[in-house]
Structures are given as C-alpha cells and as structure tokens.
Structure 1
Amino acid sequence: MIERITGKLLEKSTNSVCLDVNGICYEIETTSGTINSLPHINEKLTLFTHLLIREDAHILFGFNDHNTRNTFRLLIKTAGIGARTALSVLSTLTVEELSNSILMQEPSILTKVPGIGQRTAERLILELKNKIKSETGLNSTQVPQIHSDLINALVSLGYSCKEAMKIINFVPENLTISESIKYALKLLSAG
C-alpha cells in the first residue's frame, strides 16, 4: 500500500494531478476540494493516498489529509459505492458536511451528490451512522432536530447543501423552525 506520496506537481486537471517523484510521474485522481487547494505547478506536494487495484487498472487516489482519505475508504466499503462515486461525494460535500448529514439522517442532502439516489443515500446513512465518527476522527455530536429541519427547508427552497450547512451555525437555537427559516433566509440574502 502507498501511504502517501511527495513530489513536484507537474500538471493538474479538474479531477487529477500528475506528480513527479524522482523522475517517475504518478497520475493521482482526487477531489475538487484537493484540486482547489493545490500549490502552483513545479512546487512540492504531499498527498495521502489510496491505491485501488482492479483487474484492468491500478488507480491511485490522493487527498490533502487523513480524514478525507479515511472517509473515502469508508465510503468505498459501502455496498453500491465505488471509487468514482466516493470521489463525487467528497467533491460535493466536505467530510464534516457528510458526517453531519449522516448523523442527522438526512438523505436529501446526500441526494444532491451526482450519482447518489434516494436508495443509495438511505443505505449510506444506515451503514455509516455508527462508523462515521470513529473512522473519520471527527468529534461530531448529534445535530439538534431543528437544525435538521432547517437544512431540509433551505435545500427544498433551492439553496445548496453547503450553503445550508454553513448557515445553521449562525442561527440561534432558541428560535422556532419558522423563525429559524426566516432568520436563515435573511442571512443568506445579506450574503
């Protein structure tokens, strides 16, 4: 197993990088979050990796940190979730957003990920709800029901999961659900 890889960044595309390690160039597939945080071309880069060996290919996946790689490994162990779908999940949601959506048991957040339907979202929640905290190293606690309702309401109004997950931290917890929605909408419209 290749634990991590360090080298000079030669190329980057929308979903992969080319890393030169002492004259050997490795193509490494990764998430959009990792791509967005890459250094400039010809600078040193270290990625935590996962090597997937299939009959027809050896594919190297790279991530900025242990938590993201551990979450990727957890996702691909789930029935019906392949490496490409796991990358899609981690490109759409952060590890924390994924963890919170599983802990809140909100399939509507997961279905916003390309390639994840209602059934797959429910399977992810069922299989990962007890594993997500220990495997990813996150210290998450159960999210209050009002936050879950607020996220559902904002997503149904057309806001992205990321916007909804970010805004719930700014909404006071002592409000009713309708007051929370109004407060969140004011915050979102204010920018």
Structure 2
Amino acid sequence: MIGRLQGVIIEKQAPEVLIDVHGVGYELQMPMTSFYELPELNQSAIIYTHFVVREDAQLLYGFITKQERSLFRLLIKANGVGPKLALTILSGMTASEFVGCVERDDIATLVKLPGVGKKTAERLLVEMRDKLKSLMEASSGSEREFVLKSNFTPAAVENTAEEDAIAALLALGYKPAQASKAVSGVFVDGMDSETLIKAALKSML
C-alpha cells in the first residue's frame, strides 16, 4: 500500500499530477479541492494517497490532507459510489461543504454534481451522517501539510486555459456541452486554468 509521497511536482494537468520521488514518477488523480493547493511545477509537495487495484488498472489517488483522504475512503464505501464518483464529489465541493450538505439534508446541491442522481444523493445523506461525525472531530483545527518554497515565480498563463479547464471537467464526468458552457460563462482574460476550473465548478452548484 502506498500511503504517502514526498517529491517534486513535474506535471500538472487537472485532475492528474505527476510527482517525482527519487527518480520514480508517480501518476495520481486528485480532487480539485486538493489540486488547487498544490505548489507550482518543480516545487516539493507531500501528498497522501489511496491505492486502488482493479482487474484492468492500478490507480493512485492523491490528497493534500489525511482528512480529505479519509472522506474519500468513506465515500467509496457508500453503496453505489466508486473512486471516480468520489473524486467528482470532492472536486465539486470541499470536505466541509459536503459535511454541510449532509447536516442540512441538502439533496438539491448534491444532485448538481455529475453522476449523482436523487437516489444516490439520498443514500449518501443516510449512509454518511454518522460516519462524518468522527471524521470532522479528527480534522478539527488541522492544517494542510504540503511543502512550498516561498520564492517561486507563478507560472505564465497559457493560451490553453479554457481547453485545459474543459478537459478537466470532462475527466471529472461533466458532459462536453455542460463543461464548455460553464467555462465560457466564467472565463475572463488572464485567468489561469486552475482559477478557471474552480470558478466553473462553483458556477454549477
């Protein structure tokens, strides 16, 4: 089991990340809430991981905090929720926002996420209510643990910010028309892809 990686971020293409650990490159998929917290390329980071082995693939999922990983693990234990859907849920809202939905029985917000129908939302609210109490107690007062040099220079904004944002939304399960409409609706000249993805996700909730 690979539980934690510390290395240098060498590629970032949401929601995928490539981290170099002593010459070995690990490919990870990350929820956007964690992806936003990553340092720039060629900077050091600590990422907590969850390893999934399937008949046709071996997948590594990454998280900035242990609490986010714990929530991911709780989600994939819920009936009808696999790693891809759990990744989508944690990309569309933070852990605290998800907990808020559960506490308020907020089905309306959950069903706006791709792949979450009314029945899945209702099941999540029931199954996650008790499980989340211990998780939030453990996460109270915790801080994000990643290493970031203070003197990095922000990466230049690429002309492909819109394309990168749409590609990220498609990878998270959104339909092409939905992703394109969300991105074009919030795009402002000068936006980088990460800011654009975040704004597009927020606009759909």
TM-score (norm 2): 0.66
Instruction: Give the match's secondary structure for 1:51.
Output: strand
Does 1:34 pair with 2:46?
A: no
> Could you tell me how far apart the structure 2 residues matched to 1:13 and 1:93 are?
19
Report if aligned partners of 1:49, 1:69 keep a CA contact under 8 Å in 2.
yes
Partner residue, 1:49:
49
Q: Would you say 1:72 and 2:72 are equivalent positions?
A: yes
Q: For the residues of structure 2 that align with 1:56 and 1:111, how far apart are their CA atoms?
A: 29
1:66 is displaced (CA, Å) by 1.1
Q: Say if 2:19 and 2:27, in contact at 8 Å, map to a contact too.
A: yes
Q: Larger deviation: 33-42 or 50-59?
A: 33-42
Aligned letter for 2:87?
Answer: L
In structure 2, the partner of 1:106 is: 106
Paired residue type of 1:42:
N
Check whether the contact 2:6–2:45 (CA below 8 A) recurs between aligned residues. Answer: yes
2:169 corresponds in structure 1 to: none
Alignment of 1:1-191 (within 5 A): 1-136=1-136, 137-138=138-139
Question: Structure 2: which amino acid aligns with 1:70?
Answer: S
Matched to 1:28, the amino acid is: L
- Percentage identity across aligned positions? 38
Instruction: Give yes or no for contact 1:96–1:138 (8 Å, CA) kept in 2.
Output: no
Q: 1:161 to 1:103 in 2, by over 3 A?
A: farther
Q: Is the contact made by 1:74 and 1:135 (CA closer than 8 Å) also made in structure 2?
A: no
**Once the two structures are superposed, what CA deviation does each residue of 1:24-63 show, in whole Å capped at 9, x if it has no partner?**
1000100112222211111111101100111111100000
Is the 8 Å Cα contact of residues 51 and 60 (structure 1) preserved in structure 2?
yes
**Deviation digits for residues 108-133 of structure 1, max 9, x if unmatched?**
11111111010000000011111112
**Tell me, what secondary structure is at the counterpart of 1:126?**
helix
SS at match of 1:123: helix
Alpha-carbon separation, structure 2, partners of 1:116 and 1:138:
26
Secondary structure at the residue paired with 2:130?
coil
Distance 1:28 1:6 in 2: 13
Normalised by the size of structure 1, how large is the TM-score?
0.71
Cα RMSD for the two superposed structures: 2.0
Contact preservation (8 Å) 1:97, 1:162: no
Q: Which residue of 1 aligns with 2:159?
A: none
Unpaired segments ≥5 residues, structure 2: 141-199
CA deviation map 1:123-170 (0-9, x unaligned): 00011111112134356xxxxxxxxxxxxxxxxxxxx9969x9xxxxx
